[in-house]
Amino acid sequence: MGVEKSAYRQPVTPQGLKAIEKGTLTWLDDDMYNNLNTGVLEQYLEEKNLEESFEVSHWNTSKVLYGIAIGAVFSGVTAYIGLKLGLAISAAWYIAYLLGMALKWSPSEVNIATSATTGATHASTGFIFTFPAIFLLASDARYELASGPLISNADTFNLAFVGIVASMFAGFLGIMYFIIFRRVWLVEDPLPLPGFEATLKMLDIASDVNTGAVEHARESLKTIGVWTSLTMFGLFLVEYPLIWANDRKLALLDYLAETLAIGDYGLASFYSSGKIHQPSGIDSEGVSLGYTQWSADTAWNPFAYTYVGIALTPSMFAIGWFMKTRVAFLVNLGTLVGWFFLVPLVVWFNFPIYDAMSQSSVPIQSYADGDGAALQMIAFSKSVRTIAIGSIVGGGMFGLAKMYRTFLNIFSDIGSAFKGEGSQEYMEGKGWYEWPLKHIPIFMGVTFLAMLVIFTVGGFSILASLVFATVLIMTTFLLGAIAVRVMGETGIEPVSGTSFIVLLMLLGVFLNAQDLLDLTTQDAVLLGLVGTTVFGSAISMSGTVIGDYKNSLYIGNRPYHISKGNIMGVVPGAIIGAGVAIFLSKQLADGNISLMAPQANAFATFSVIFAEGQGDLYLLALGFLLGMFVEWATGMGTSFGLGMYLDVPHTLPMLIGGVARDSWEDKRLKPRIDAIKEKEGTTAAEKQRALILLSTFMVAAGLLTGEAFFGTESSILSFVDTLVENPDSMSWYIGRMLGFVGLNVAIGGGIYLLFKRAGVIGGSPATADAVLEN
């Protein structure tokens, strides 16, 4: 019998093979690190865990509740980041890891607690990406049709209740489904999951229960706090409306940019609204025009055909730091193709674009009749974004087609698993090792009935609810495999791409069978969007649990505890995360806050296209083919499409962050680690590398957290502005400022007291020990 080959499996080292044969290889030793993703190691550790994990893996409800609390709080922060940047990235698990390290939890306890953290953080992903489209279709003039808004008089509270409850069941189902894939893609043919080594090293550090590790955790938390504070102060200068004059409210940097002018030239031509951008010109009052205007007289200006700049968004730099250059470049590649090729073509060739209001196609240059207009932005929003949506869908569909052989093998594995072949779930006299597979078909039935009841009670017809429940059960499994596979290959889960496929399926059925399903056009669109919201939560949980499972294999944890932790985190995370996402969505649609919300805008555009059935479908098809090609060439068609949906100022900081990370590792980190390796050995060097790299992760986490906290507070204050009788008065200006400062002092004080009580801040190692003993 030949040796099985794999695109992911690495060759096992001779020393590692010898240690495996002798049975001396154990968790977190050098031979383990040298043989990650070999398949041989993973199968050896699986057998070892079956026998020994019951001595290591212990459930502690109080510690899991710590993890859930951190994840639930950060689910709201994640909602803001997702709406602003289009990526649901959270720093919650870093906080949970560091708290566990500071309190001297074992690696097993840290891993189990953080599984609950990630479960709570990502349970509401669908509400971040999809649900806001409902508010945009109801309130945003950009999506209004000639007959009025596509969605009117929708019961938002009812839809939110339906979506939240359904997302809980869907989240449970997403976790259950991955039980099937765990052995296939983490043990027998291990996916590499780029970046997981950092979390594994953190668990390794946690295993060294000594003063140094605890002190480092304290220092790391302080690093996050410092950079969170610096980020919030910087964004205060960039975004907070500090200057109220001449019936305008300006941030300090915008005020300075408009003030510093010489004649017709001013700094505002190059800086406005938190972006350093190409020269756009200023109006008679010194206010930036924002974008280079196109007219017959300025048609020679290349800047009139594109939009280049850098947004002062710390989060995108931090995300790029996590991604590194390759992934950041592939996302930016979509942006570059969109803004340096497609947008200029649309403007240059006077391409006709479909206008929903007039229900006709209008040559784009006709918008510049008279004083000119930012045609590049019209081309982007009306044409190129449609191509981007098609690219996301095409990349996802082609990715599914590429995996047909894998699915054939998986179905065989599933059949064997349900027959009990090769499964060792319950160990007599010890307990559960893995969540029982027989629960999967049971919970499929429970979820199916739950969806039928929830959506029927929510006001949709029984037949329409039946169709959705069927689609959810099938797509969560099939597309969940895509999401997990892609995440295992690249470290990024394509929730958006797979969700577009589901929306395509649901709208295709609901809009073309309205009479049979007893649906109006509005009901068909609403059911499609709410259904896709629920799917997004399910698919996110499937991808979330893979990282927790992978780490648990290498430290001796039972998969049963990881599943249990993720399941417990779903309910509070879904409620809090969805609540914050809904609040922010309402503010976004009403124009009270400015968030990019790329996926939500894409879903809204997609819904209008399908509801109207107009000419933009040609651009959608073009994008579909482009996404297929990029998926074939790079394997990241959905990421490419997402990049095309963003603008250069928001993706360029991400690329800068990725390049900066690789450059820093090559020029600064590697020489330092090589010197330590030569002097103190490989083990000391690897642990020092993890500590140094972790310190940069803490800075990045501070950037993410600071922007998310500031943005959430700003959105709350903007909402309060709408409730105040005279929001332009001096008394409200003072009250608003005092409220903003007081809110931050209260939050900072609460966090300080929490960590001081735990002995993490303001105490000594002995204090932490005393707290732990009590």
Which residues on adjacent β-strands are paired with residue 638? none
When mean pLDDT is compared across 150-154, 249-253, 741-745, the lowest value belongs to 150-154
The SS3 call for residue 285 is coil
Quote the pLDDT of residue 500.
78
CA atoms of 598 and 619, how far apart (whole Å): 18
pLDDT the model gives residue 124: 84
Residue pair 585/76 in contact by the 8 Å Cβ criterion: no
Q: Could you please report the per-residue DSSP string of 465-534?
A: HHHHHHHHHHHHHHHHHHHHHHHHHHS---HHHHHHHHHHHHHHHHHHSHHHHT--HHHHHHHHHHHHHH
- pLDDT tens string 247-270: 788 899 988 888 887 666 678 888
Which neighbouring-strand residues pair with 309?
Answer: 277
- pLDDT interval class at 159 (50, 70, 90): confident
**Residues 363, 5: Cα–Cα separation, whole Å:** 55
pLDDT confidence of residue 413: 54
Given a cut of 50, whether residue 15 has pLDDT beyond it is yes
Among the ranges 157-166, 356-365, 475-484, 582-591, which has the highest mean pLDDT value? Answer: 157-166
Q: Comparing 84-98, 636-650, 704-718, which segment has the lowest mean pLDDT?
A: 84-98
| 8-state DSSP, 269 | G
pLDDT of residue 163 exceeding 50: yes
Name residue 566's amino acid.
N
Give the mean pLDDT of the chain. Answer: 81
What was the pLDDT predicted at 416? 56
Q: Please tell me the least confidently modeled range out of 54-63, 206-215, 504-513, 612-621.
A: 206-215
Q: Could you give the CA distance from residue 717 to residue 592 in angstroms, rounded to a whole number? A: 10
Q: What is the mean pLDDT of residues 405-418?
A: 60
What is the pTM assigned to this prediction?
0.76
Residues 713-723 have a mean pLDDT of: 77
| Phi and psi angles of residue 472, each rounded to the nearest 5 degrees, phi first | -60, -45
Interval 532-574: pLDDT, tens: 999 988 888 888 888 899 999 999 999 999 999 999 999 998 8
Q: From CA 5, how far away is CA 622, in angstroms rounded?
A: 36
Indicate the pLDDT class of residue 721, thresholds 50, 70 and 90.
confident
pLDDT of residue 755: 64
Query: How far is the C-alpha of 213 from the C-alpha of 302, rounded, in Å?
Result: 55
pLDDT at 343 over 90: yes
Specify which of 160-164, 224-228, 743-747 reaches the highest per-range mean pLDDT. 160-164
CB 290 within 8 A of CB 374: yes
Distance in angstroms (rounded) separating the CA atoms of residues 568 and 641: 34
Say yes or no to pLDDT of 314 above 60: yes
Q: How confident is the model at residue 766 (pLDDT cuts 50, 70, 90)?
A: very low
Close Cβ partners of 152 (under 8 Å, ≥ 6 residues apart): 138, 522
Q: Which pLDDT score, from 0 to 100, does residue 693 have? A: 77
**Would you state the pLDDT for residue 101?**
72
Cβ atoms of 115 and 615 closer than 8 Å: no
Confidence band for 689, pLDDT divided at 50, 70 and 90: confident
Q: What share of the chain is helix, strand, coil (3-state, %, to 5)?
A: 70, 5, 25
Q: Binning pLDDT at 50, 70 and 90, where does residue 769 land? A: very low
Cβ neighbour number for residue 191 with a 10 Å cutoff: 23
Instruction: Write the single-letter amino acid at 216.
Output: H
Lowest mean pLDDT among 91-105, 361-375, 537-551: 91-105
Q: What percent of the chain has pLDDT over 70?
A: 86
- Cβ distance 274 to 647 under 8 Å? no
Least confident of 428-442, 443-457, 670-684, 746-760: 746-760
Q: Is the pLDDT of residue 218 over 80?
A: no
Among 336-340, 522-526, 638-642, the minimum mean pLDDT is found in 638-642
Please tell me which of 371-375, 529-533, 750-754 the model is most confident about, judged by mean pLDDT.
529-533
Q: Which helix (H) or strand (E) holds 294?
A: none
* Of the ranges 77-91, 440-454, 485-499, 695-709, the best mean pLDDT one: 440-454
- Distance CA(706)–CA(725), nearest Å, equals 31
Mean pLDDT of 449-478: 90
> Does 77 score more than 60 pLDDT?
yes
Per-residue pLDDT at 423 exceeds 60: no
Residue predicted with more confidence, 100 or 25 = 25
Judged against a pLDDT cut of 50, whether residue 774 lies above it is answered with: no
Structural contact between residues 576 and 48, judged by C-beta atoms closer than 8 angstroms? no
Of 166 and 203, more confident: 166
Under 8 Å CB-to-CB from 362, ≥6 apart: which residues? 352, 353, 355
Query: What confidence tens digit (pLDDT) does each residue in 569-602 have?
Result: 999 988 988 888 888 888 888 877 777 787 888 7
State the pLDDT at residue 3: 40
Res. 50: pLDDT tops 70: yes
User: Which has the closest alpha carbon to 135: 470, 584, 659?
Assistant: 584
Look at 690 and 353; give whichever has higher pLDDT: 353
Residue 309: which H helix or E strand, with range? strand 309-311
Q: Most confidently modeled of 124-133, 354-363, 382-391, 558-567? A: 558-567
Identify the pLDDT of residue 65: 92
Percent of the chain with pLDDT over 90: 21
